[in-house]
Amino acid sequence: MTAAAHALSPNRRKRNLDASPPPRHFHGPQSHSRLRQRLLRWPLLPPPPETKRPAFDMWNFISGLFGGRRPKDNGLEVFKRWCGALSRDLTVVTDEETGTTKLLLDRRVKDSRKAALEAVKPPQRQKTEPYYLKAHEEARRNDGRLEEIGIEVRLKEEKLAEIRKSDKAAQEDLSELFKPLTEEEKNEVHDCFHARGPSSKVLVLHEWSNIEVSKEKFQCLRPCRWLNDEVINLYLELLKEREKREPKRFLKCHFFNTFFYKKLACGKSGYDYKSVKRWTTHKKLGYGLIECDKIFVPVHKDVHWCLAIINMKENTFQYLDSLGGTDHNVLNMLARYIAEEVKDKSNKVIDTSSWHEEIVDGIPLQQNGWDCGMFMLKYIDFHSRGLSLSFSQEHMEYFRERTAKEILNLRAD
């Protein structure tokens, strides 16, 4: 073929010498955000799987974390980090058929596109401080005497609170609450803690509640161990029987077991009254909750025990945490529950919106990572007597032995 014919051929492929290479395909921020999510994803700090065993030795585990040396804080900081990690903003996804927990979803937004939209939002208008606060601050700066008066008032208030507390403690007879165990009782407890034999051997059977405590379950009352549901629930049953024996000596209380709050909060929206509606029928209890002075609700947060109290006599909701924490969601859920419960069982309407939420300050606090369950039981014990919480961390070893003795005797003193 000649050059002219070749130039005129219709099938000849033309080449554009000035054309630039085709642009690379842009996949958008999606692929980049996926990689970023993988890199930035930070897992929760769950407790070790060994903690699920009732006989788990908490002290040996925490000692191992510090290279075999005794930690200065008895593992309290490790315990607080567990509680803090597990209290993040998480959504619990449950199986609709079985109601069991499947997984946890982190609510944090990690999509870069959403982050970009948030970045271009106009700044929100900042709230200005009220004028009276500015005027008060200016007056305080101009007159130094105001600050001195404020300090004097606070000091006198603190001194008055201490005097009232000491007067109340002086009027209370606490001798029975700290009565030492006899040598025979100590030996009995020691034998149950250290005796040989199968761990499945049943040491105690409470016939009315059908709660049995095996040797393995009983070990949780030894020092440096977490209390389990069986021991806590059996002790609460003994407190119920104690009140029935001596109704004039103790307040009229209701003691929910450790499974009540879990059941109440297991609904899709976080609240399910129907699941616990039959727990408090008059046929089962012989009374209505509206007749009680106080209602105790144990709250278990994965690795930590807390206590919520519905004070029917003073129209308050109290929250006691031996780590000094707060949880308004628990109190809000119980406020909704008691209003619905009284309406259903007593056909009465109570307005819980006027009740006070009391995050109790000045309560005894734990100084280690394993006594939260025992603190919760003693909160209940003292409150059911109408006494102030006159104990501390140094009494926990004695309370463990005393609780073990009472469970073995199936009688709370």
Q: Choosing from 371, 372, 381, 383, which is the catalytic residue? A: 372
Contact (CB, 8 A) for 295 and 338: yes
Whether the predicted pLDDT of 59 surpasses 90: no
Contact (CB, 8 A) for 349 and 343: yes
- Write out the two tokens for 375: 């603190």
3-state SS string for 36-91? HHHHHCCCCCCCCHHHHCCCCCHHHHHHHHCCCCCCCCCCHHHHHHHHHHHCCCEE
Q: Which residues contact 139 (CB under 8 A, 6 or more apart)?
A: 146
The pLDDT of residue 341:
96
Of the two residues 406 and 66, the one the predictor is more confident about is 406
Of the two residues 67 and 314, the one the predictor is more confident about is 314
> How far apart (Å, rounded) are the C-alpha atoms in residues 153 and 342?
43
Give pLDDT tens digits for 377-404. 999 999 999 998 999 999 999 999 999 9
Give pLDDT tens digits for 124-171. 666 677 777 777 777 777 676 766 777 777 777 777 766 665 555 545
Q: Choosing from 321, 371, 381, 383, which is the catalytic residue? A: 321
197 backbone φψ class: left, alpha, beta (φ>0; ψ -120 to 50): left
Nearest to 357 by CA among 325, 389, 331: 331
Whether the predicted pLDDT of 303 surpasses 50: yes
- Write out the two tokens for 236: 């609460």
The pLDDT of residue 104:
40
Q: Rounded to 5 degrees, what are φ and ψ at 272?
A: -145, 90
CA gyration radius for the chain?
Answer: 31
Annotated catalytic residue 143: no
Give the three-class secondary structure for 340. Answer: helix
Give pLDDT tens digits for 197-213. 898 999 999 999 999 99
> How far apart (Å, rounded) are the C-alpha atoms in residues 266 and 307?
18
Annotated catalytic residue 381: no
Q: Tell me the C-alpha to C-alpha distance, in Å, between residue 344 and each of 6, 276, 290, 331, 354.
A: 98, 12, 11, 20, 20
Residue 65 identity (one-letter amino acid):
L
> How far apart (Å, rounded) are the C-alpha atoms in residues 278 and 27?
57
Domain residue ranges of the chain, discontinuous segments joined by +: 175-409
Report the range of poorest mean pLDDT among 84-88, 302-306, 343-347: 84-88
Largest CA distance in the chain: 124
> How far apart (Å, rounded) are the C-alpha atoms in residues 298 and 285?
19
Annotated catalytic residue 224: no
Give pLDDT tens digits for 259-284. 999 999 987 778 999 999 999 999 99
Contact (CB, 8 A) for 87 and 299: no
Fold (CATH) for 175-409: Adenoviral Proteinase; Chain (3.40.395)
The pLDDT of residue 105:
43
